Structure 1
């Protein structure tokens, strides 16, 4: 698949199964990530690759974050939170390690990391790996960031779920770019 085909046909895959990406495929995805545009060459991206039992540790963090927000959460709700980490064989936690008080503002550093995630998603799609970019309350939780080894200043940009597509990929509407263009007022 060429780059333009990947760019114009990529879709997310919400249901993922074993196997996850191989070590070689993960290396390729991470190489694609670190080629994202990065004004100031701050290299703000940080990655935690979770497979196997490591996902259960992420599930513990997800449960802790839930209990911080909902201390009275019942056991079923807690189990649902924990099991979110088991939805894919591989999860890459992608974090913007923010350089504070820099001429490159935090929002621009976060965009660079977002571009890194997009690069990984495009590379995954091109080599047949299903990918789903997830965020939710876990992306903004200082507790979760701390448990992942990051500071409150940092920002989780994605929980990138990776694996073999378990269902057929949905097709997206064939929107025309003109539908999204506005004229200068």
Structure 2
């Protein structure tokens, strides 16, 4: 792979939402490649704080019920919305895999550094998924991630920071747009 191929994959990466997913299975081999890419993210003091929990089959169904329960419990009755509830259900049902994005804070580094490492792991994961024509979408619903230990046991010091919905999709994605780097990069020559 040359530098232009890598830049092309980076530019192609998009949030691909569950309503865009088809029902094609993400294979164990594809997942292995995705998590191997994630595992090569940098981390200060080599803490490798990222942890992932893959939900499929019955665990994905249980997660859908957990998300519904958390939504109902955390929303005042007069603000409950069938549209919102159906959207939550659809995310779970249309995703082939759902990944809980977690990290372990070994307290060797400031927490923000561990979160940055996890974010880089997710970016690597997302780029590999893009190369494999697998869509992904990182969501961080605060009530869901704050209480995820009600859904599944967590390790000592483990914290959930997001939910990554995944699925294969048909067709082309819209082209990304970014402002020029001219206003974002400054060169000091003194």
- TM-score category by the smaller chain? 0.7 to 0.9
CA contact (8 A) 2:74 2:143 kept: no
Return the TM-score normalized by structure 1: 0.83
Aligned counterpart in structure 1 of residue 91 of structure 2, from 77, 84, 91: 84
* Further displaced range: 117-126 or 79-88: 79-88
1:173: which partner in 2? 177
Partners of 2:67 and 2:144 within 8 A in 1? no
Give the whole-Å Cα distance in 2 for the aligned partners of 1:78 and 1:33.
Answer: 31
CA distance in 2, matches of 1:83, 1:130: 16
Query: Which residue does the alignment assign to 2:124?
Result: 119
The TM-score with structure 2 as length reference comes to: 0.81
More helix by share: 2
Provide the aligned C-alpha RMSD in A: 2.6
- Structure 1, unmatched stretches of 5+, are none
Deviation at 1:37, TM superposition (A): 0.5
Q: Whole-Å Cα distance in 1 between the matches of residues 140 and 25 of structure 2? A: 20
Q: Which residue of 2 aligns with 1:5?
A: 8
- CA contact 2:12–2:130 (8 Å) conserved in 1: no
Unaligned runs of 5+ in 2: none
Cα distance change of structure 1 residues 23 and 140 upon mapping to structure 2, 3 Å threshold: closer
Q: Which residue of 2 aligns with 1:147?
A: 151
Query: When the two structures are aligned, how many residues end up with a matched partner?
Result: 181
1: CA distance, partners of 2:85 / 2:184: 41
User: After alignment, is 54-63 or 78-87 more displaced?
Assistant: 78-87
Question: How is 1:96-115 mapped onto 2 (pairs within 5 angstroms)?
Answer: 96-99=103-106, 102-115=107-120
- Which deviates the most, 167-176 or 105-114? 167-176
